[in-house]
Amino acid sequence: MLGAIGLALLGAPLVTLPTPAFGGDPTLIAIASDPAQMRLYCFSTRCGDEEWRLATSGRAKGPEIDPLDLPPLRTVLLPGSQRHVGGVRAPATSRTSRAMYSNDYRIGTRYGVQALRDGPTQVGLSFGAGYRLAPLHDDGINRPGTVFRGEVSIGQRLGERARWSQRVQFESGHGDTFVKQSMRLDVDLWPYWKLETDFAIRHDSNGGGGSESAESSIELIRRF
């Protein structure tokens, strides 16, 4: 009897058990038949079912990287972002100068050279040619016409508060020669007070007869 029952069970087809009922709701039946749909949505950078998704996609899981183990970012300096550029200097100003000028007394050209300009001593000279328009309105000969002019200037700093300077100016033309020599001493007395002294000698050949004059001044100046 038992043997007959065993043979009947072995020969019968496989019977699938019915799906448990959930109140007859088709939606609940569909969810229960597919467990994957019961997983919650994940908004994190790493979901709890990451291993399941990697296994189903056939990719191997790589090693985890700790952000603290990453090397620090290297600061990149763009061109022009530096405040100071080492080894670069502004070009030096020229020691020579050329100019064309015109005023109420003369028109002409002038060329100047600064022989010494750095340090306590300064030496400069200039010369040029022009045409005098009006006589006896500035330092020069007393007749209009073509003239040649020149100047030599010397400056010397005396300590931290005093400076001495000397200028020799000359102009010649039509056989006449004019020379002016001036000397000046400036002294800083107090932060806003300055003493200025000036002495000048003028010599004019005036067609061979010649004339000389001298003048001097002492001034105490208050700067505001």
CA distance 56 to 37: 15
CA distance 147 to 143: 10
pLDDT score for 15: 45
Strand order in the sheet with 96-102: 96-102, 106-116, 121-132, 145-158, 162-173, 176-190, 193-204, 211-222
- List pLDDT tens digits, range 28-52: 666 666 655 555 555 555 555 555 5
**Does position 56 have pLDDT exceeding 50, yes or no?**
no
pLDDT score for 100: 93
What pTM, to 2 d.p., does this model score? 0.55
Across 57-77, b (16+ Cβ under 10 Å) vs e yields eeeeeeeeeeeeeeeeeeeee
On whether the CB atoms of residues 128 and 108 are closer than 8 A, the answer is yes
- List pLDDT tens digits, range 16-30: 444 454 455 666 666
Question: Is pLDDT larger for residue 136 or for residue 80?
Answer: 136
- List pLDDT tens digits, range 119-128: 899 999 999 9
Q: What percent of the chain has pLDDT over 70?
A: 57
Residue 21 in tokens: 């009922």
Question: Is pLDDT larger for residue 224 or for residue 185?
Answer: 185
